[in-house]
Amino acid sequence: MPILGIFASAPAPFSASGGTEVTSGGFKYHKFTSSGSFVVSSGSKNVEVLCIAGGGAGGGDLSGGGGAGGLKYNSSFSVTNGTYTVTIGAGGAATSLGSSGNLGSNSSFSSITATGGGGGSDASPVSATTGGSGGGGGYNAQTGAAGTSGEGNAGGDGSTANAACGGGGGAGVAGSNNSGANGGPGGNGSSAYSTWGSATTSGENVGGTYYYAGGGGGGANNFPATSAGGYGGGGIGTSGLGVNGGNATANTGGGGGGTRGGGGATVSGAGGSGIIIVRYAV
């Protein structure tokens, strides 16, 4: 009489879809630049998730740069059959005289949420606002706002003497204070995920290194000078009547640039929208 063996069935192979898909360096990446769904059709896996919120806008005038969107990374997020909601946060809209910069919107992947970037300060008494990274301080010695622990950094401070303003915070470093009549540069974003940027053509490529979530530059007081946005899509800070702050780059989480236009004739730079990338070994 034959002996019947007992065989355990093999686990279902992992299969998922959603976003722009690319395989590189032994990993499969799913890049989301707009809201959608990550759908697991079979199997289960621990995946890595990079979640970046929308950046904040610069302040309306005599203003600090916008803070970058918060950056969160989860190295081992368990997924199984089902649909996972992906929400990409918008960048903060540009604003005009008398207003702090508009906040960026949160991005989320299932239960992982990154905080939208803070807005840059207008001239006193309009303060910078906190966010994933904080907005920069404006004229009349406005201080930069704080970032969110584990997601970003604070904005730099503005000046009393010369109407120059602080840069917005970035995911990598804080925004800089003004220097004389120069606006403070925005804080650089994070380069820790450069291989992700290279594989998916996302973030800002600076000499072959990819950055995400840079702060916006602060408004300057020495036309036609500008202050640099932080690596990772931050907009430039500007000076001069009628010269708007620089917009951040879309899908980087960068903060918008501040401005020193005068008289309400200019608007700040808008923040950049966020991005979410999921990757796993194949």
pLDDT for position 1: 47
Write down the domain spans for the chain. Answer: 14-282
- Bridge partners of 109, per DSSP, are 86, 112
Tell whether pTM > 0.85: yes
pLDDT for position 253: 98
In order of 54, 125, 221, 230, 255, the CA distances from 240 in angstroms are: 27, 22, 8, 21, 20
Q: Can you tell me whether residue 235 is helix, strand or coil?
A: coil
What confidence tier does 249 reach under pLDDT thresholds 50, 70, 90? very high
167-198 pLDDT, tens digit each: 999 999 999 999 888 899 999 999 999 999 99
Short-list 169, 172, 171, CA closest to 184: 169
Question: DSSP characters for 48-72?
Answer: EEEEEPPPPPPPSSS-PPPPPPPEE
Q: How far apart are CA 167 and CA 79, in angstroms?
A: 39
78-98 pLDDT, tens digit each: 999 999 999 999 999 999 877
pLDDT surpasses 90 at 41? yes
Q: Span 214-226, mean pLDDT?
A: 89
Contacts of 161 (CB under 8 A, 6+ apart): none
